[in-house]
Structure 1
């Protein structure tokens, strides 16, 4: 779906032409995910001053405590290389600082600078407004059902992934 499609009212979740052998649920989730990322990107004014990757990192650092880089990788659910590139850019831009952990020299600790805190705080109201607009689309019971159904789909996905791994003989 392009921005023009959205503006012109085309239904991005139209599933009338799902290719044979494709999961309708997977297609709907993928398309919904794209719409959600697009909306958040617009709320963040992507590509500047923040994009989705840098926002996730700043969010992970927002409690103020230094965070090991590996924890940011887990929190953001992004690849190590992608996080490393974003951290380098954020540090160059003066939004974060990094240091080596005193108790384990292999661990890199990352924290927000004052400028990073100001940038995060400036973006937060737009992100909160965007998220509230999404949350009001469903009533509380519907939200609970949606989350429960999402968990079931996630569980089925994990089982399918394990099955694929088992059929491969455990080779990634």
Structure 2
């Protein structure tokens, strides 16, 4: 992937170059992962992230999956329903809280996950291999600075709005 694919010479004057580059890179990375998943089987990125959460944490509630996967509640609910319908996962009511359901992989789901995992891991390792350990640390430090700048800008806007009210 070349930098030209991000089309950074074509952004609105009012936009942040960092935000646009990050957004476009994120879209391209998701698209590439989607292609890997399509080659391996009929599974969406959201479903893959659910599998990853269940693989890492075992039986978990929907709220725990939302927290782990960062998938919005509505999309997560739809993906869980599709996966349950395909017999890739199962759910059971919590004994302590009847409103909560615990989700876990079925044997079929575990086999499906294990079949896809090597391709996804190879894809992810190839991305991470683009950086030396030092560059990776620098990248993550810069990502933290971008996040903090965005949070600070939001806080400044909120403060300015409250002072004008």
* TM-based fold match above 0.5: yes
Could you list the runs of 5+ residues in structure 1 that have no partner in the other structure? 1-5
Q: 2:12 aligns with which of 8, 19, 34?
A: 19
1:155 aligns with 2:148: yes
Hey, what's the Cα distance between the residues in 2 that align with 1:95 and 1:166?
A: 48
Root-mean-square deviation (CA, aligned residues, Å) is 2.0
Question: SS state of the match for residue 90, structure 2?
Answer: strand
Is this contact kept in 2: 1:94–1:113, CA < 8 A? Answer: yes
Hey, what's the Cα distance between the residues in 1 that align with 2:40 and 2:146?
A: 32
1:52 aligns with 2:45: yes
Higher helix share: 2
TM-score (norm. length: structure 2): 0.90
Aligned residue number for residue 3 of structure 1: none
TM-score (norm. length: structure 1): 0.86
Q: How many residues are treated as equivalent by the alignment?
A: 162
Hey, what's the Cα distance between the residues in 1 that align with 2:39 and 2:67?
A: 23
Moved over 6 A (4+): none
Aligned residue number for residue 70 of structure 1: 63
The CA deviation string for residues 34-60 of structure 1, in whole angstroms up to 9 with x for no partner, is: 111011111111794211010000100
Hey, what's the Cα distance between the residues in 1 that align with 2:148 and 2:120?
A: 29
Farther off after superposition, 65-74 or 9-18: 9-18
Is this contact kept in 2: 1:98–1:109, CA < 8 A? Answer: yes
Could you list the runs of 5+ residues in structure 2 that have no partner in the other structure? none
